[in-house]
Structure 1
């Protein structure tokens, strides 16, 4: 894909790369001025934010990095990946995005590309690439401490081919650690392998300690991270299909079970916690019968997002360490936003980007108040044991606040400017004190505005940088540059790092 970009002559890249350097310089000036506006609303006048201690993780744990406040909160462009050779109507899936301290990795159709951070890139500029036998058909946002992740892909290039392969890849060097074939199951649960993916139960993949877990309909397989050895296989029983898993500190499996008391096509759900290394059941929680969908927001503590009597998420449920019900947080349709993303042909029951769990709370964002520009919202923390509100963080005027992920015991959030005059910001919210600390102020040219959508894009914060990546690449009606991924970092880090390659600045 993008073969034209890979062989484009140097003079065709001059204008774009000169623009990248100019935009970065202009942003540095604009942000110094604009940051005062946001600071006045959300900032703190105190000094350096103290970091709270955390235990050293094992190399085989799932990565849970803690971000540090940069020396300067003024942002600068750290990376961009774009294309200008797509025709009108042309479209490619771009499943998955991951970042390490030096690599930004992005899936494109059947290829995983790894780019050196600090460059302005098109396809062909990648540091490494992995081309799979068929299109990528499943990903997980989870990454091991060693910067490795798992990817599902089809058996061949046919888009209707079975999704029956799993690869464990190293994001730093672009090496495939191992690849395994998984046993596809029919969506109906009947015995025998399906002929095409249209008849296949959609598999999913996630990571837990030292373990890659794949659900495939009639069971769940667990593989050892280091060598791909099959650790265990749990098969479906009692007409329950294994449809999705949630990883991290623990491993939860979502079971869809046939229920003759419900209308045809509707399932009853059970959530099962298993030991990631042995597959032994720790507990099973039977979800209420009126629930039509369940998502696994967190595995430890166990937090579920459910759709009760509706097609959209209506409630968030918390369970204790024994799988017993604790509390319900009502989404209160029209008051809070609790979106879980359904990517076509991918099963990822963990993908609820607007719901974040940590520090004994679940954080939800409110619906925006006001009009398109003069608007505002807030993020509320709810106690997982009682369901009661704990802390509220306001976005301030003409901005919206989106929860992103936990960083230790603090919540990282994106403050998006509605008027595009004041800059956007990456903020750290302390649920204990209520303190709001700005980590990074930045802005994006209009070409990058759509990349900040939590449902249409992937947003990652890693090693002091924030990345926004599109989930699809679509050809424009008229020839123009398509921004596919953009990353930002502190200007002090940009100044301290190696300079932008001369070919990317001065051509």
Structure 2
């Protein structure tokens, strides 16, 4: 598949290769989905460029410069990314975290459960105003039991889940450079902010934690490493206790509640690291000197001493490594020199041994690369869900469920008509997926059950939602959708410039309440 040339990485750092309608009549339930045969994964069509459904974003070519790292020991090899979406927990998913993962202790809404799947628009937010040479980025979406929050121009904003009205705005000193995908059980998120409102010339010098439930900034601290610059390949994560950021030449972590500094450099023996948030722990994917040379290591750092305890050392990863899930520990790896996206999923046991390997090739979209995520991969207990790439514009895709214990495919859900299925988040062992409709099929949110092969409609979107789905939802999950308790949120977090004439709002929200 032809790809544009990759520019040389700055500072020796390999790039990640990315940063009220009226409800309609109910649509018929989709038919049961046929189970997939066991054995090799379903082959895709011939490779080649397609249209809007073709790989992009996180499926771009990754530069390989490990040889340079080994020679100089001062640059980071292979585009690495790690902000893990902690989707390995089974059972009640709880409130929605950014990226579609459970992240709270109470229900996402105090309102009664809906009696109908028929959806309506809850609210929409217009795209930000952009003047002159401004470039406005609005990354980040989160849901707690009270509010939906998202990145906005020089701010983070929150909306009431029941009324859809703007509830609060946290103004920032500058634009958002990068944000955590997760929101903690206490409603905290982490963000890195530019030093001024001049998006194109302002460095990413401020780290802050925001309380989404209160609509307030908890604390803000400086990032003193000049190497962070404009935030290329910057990643941000938060757990219940630690908020951390990683960038080409450094690492910093703070106590999530107080802002007290915990560490300001990579672990001893390592020259780069990035962090995984979600739940009680913060995991680290580091590039370290070992007896066998430079290797990727997965570990945890003690918040008091900063010392790392390694869980797993990746023997070889030529093109990139990503953390996808913590329980179980699942990694996405590129093994070919010119690989696109993750080519393998590797599951590691509690004893630090490889339990299974799933070969993805170009047939499935892991969505690794953008802002340190594998956003198109959802792990639900011992099952991983990935969407296929049909390698042709206008063709329906499918979602495959893989058993992470054995590496075998156990179920396939085929998209109806010419529509597209996009993984959203885990629901116990099952998957919440977004169906992006075509001209004859309306969009909807589905629950896909791997045991029965059945698809259950949770939310039917009005016809007017189709335009927004075409722009704000894709198989690579460049703009992750959120779904919680009968509410769907679509948001564009990529940059806006003065020449952007898109008629699509920045945020669209739908509900069946």
TM range (shorter): 0.7 to 0.9
Alignment match, 1:175: 216
State how far apart, in whole Å, the 2-side matches of 1:245 and 1:281 are: 14
Out of 150, 162, 169, which is 2:190 matched to?
Answer: 150
CA distance 1:271–1:447, shift in 2 (3 Å)? closer
Alignment match, 2:207: 166
Alignment match, 1:71: 115
State how far apart, in whole Å, the 2-side matches of 1:240 and 1:399 are: 44
Q: 1:183, CA displacement in angstroms?
A: 4.0
Alignment match, 1:449: 470
Q: Which has the higher contact order (CA 8 A, sep 6+)?
A: 2
Contact 1:79 1:118 in 2 (8 A): no
Q: 1:413, CA displacement in angstroms?
A: 0.7
Q: Match of 1:205, SS?
A: strand
CA distance 1:240–1:353, shift in 2 (3 Å)? same
Alignment match, 2:148: 104
Alignment match, 2:431: 411
Out of 345, 349, 374, which is 1:320 matched to?
Answer: 349
Q: Match of 1:450, SS?
A: helix
State how far apart, in whole Å, the 1-side matches of 2:493 and 2:237 are: 19
State how far apart, in whole Å, the 2-side matches of 1:251 and 1:480 are: 38
Out of 376, 379, 386, which is 2:399 matched to?
Answer: 379
State how far apart, in whole Å, the 1-side matches of 2:234 and 2:500 are: 38
Q: 1:208, CA displacement in angstroms?
A: 2.2
Q: 1:224, CA displacement in angstroms?
A: 3.0
TM-score normalised by L of structure 2: 0.72
Contact 1:251 1:299 in 2 (8 A): no
State how far apart, in whole Å, the 1-side matches of 2:232 and 2:133 are: 30
Larger radius of gyration: 1
Q: 1:268, CA displacement in angstroms?
A: 4.0
CA distance 1:393–1:88, shift in 2 (3 Å)? farther
5 Å-filtered alignment, 1:84-483, equals 91-117=135-161, 126-159=166-199, 160-184=201-225, 193-194=226-227, 197=229, 202-215=233-246, 220-231=251-262, 235-248=266-279, 250-257=281-288, 268-274=295-301, 279=306, 281-309=308-336, 310-312=338-340, 313-333=342-362, 335-342=363-370, 348-349=371-372, 351-368=373-390, 372=394, 375-419=395-439, 421-443=440-462, 444-446=465-467, 449-453=470-474, 454-472=476-494, 474=496, 481-483=503-505
Q: 1:81, CA displacement in angstroms?
A: 0.6
Contact 2:185 2:279 in 1 (8 A): no
CA distance 1:456–1:133, shift in 2 (3 Å)? same
Q: Match of 2:186, SS?
A: coil
Structure holding more strand per residue: 1
Q: Match of 2:310, SS?
A: strand
CA distance 1:337–1:456, shift in 2 (3 Å)? closer
Contact 1:88 1:477 in 2 (8 A): no
Q: 1:151, CA displacement in angstroms?
A: 0.9
State how far apart, in whole Å, the 2-side matches of 1:380 and 1:403 are: 10
Q: Match of 1:39, SS?
A: coil
CA distance 1:93–1:55, shift in 2 (3 Å)? closer
Contact 2:443 2:461 in 1 (8 A): yes
Contact 2:329 2:348 in 1 (8 A): yes
Q: 1:62, CA displacement in angstroms?
A: 4.3
CA distance 1:425–1:396, shift in 2 (3 Å)? same
State how far apart, in whole Å, the 2-side matches of 1:280 and 1:354 are: 32
Q: Match of 2:352, SS?
A: coil
Contact 1:63 1:144 in 2 (8 A): yes
Q: Match of 2:351, SS?
A: coil
Q: 1:40, CA displacement in angstroms?
A: 4.0
Contact 1:423 1:442 in 2 (8 A): yes
Q: 1:425, CA displacement in angstroms?
A: 1.3
Q: Match of 1:449, SS?
A: helix
State how far apart, in whole Å, the 1-side matches of 2:400 and 2:367 are: 15
State how far apart, in whole Å, the 2-side matches of 1:357 and 1:246 are: 15
State how far apart, in whole Å, the 2-side matches of 1:290 and 1:442 are: 42
Which consecutive unaligned segments of at least 5 residues does structure 2 have? 1-19, 35-89, 96-101
State how far apart, in whole Å, the 1-side matches of 2:175 and 2:93 are: 38
Q: What is the aligned length?
A: 424
When the two chains are superposed, the root-mean-square deviation of aligned CA atoms in Å is 3.6
Q: 1:77, CA displacement in angstroms?
A: 0.7
State how far apart, in whole Å, the 2-side matches of 1:401 and 1:447 are: 15
Q: 1:203, CA displacement in angstroms?
A: 4.3
CA distance 1:319–1:403, shift in 2 (3 Å)? same
Contact 1:202 1:243 in 2 (8 A): no
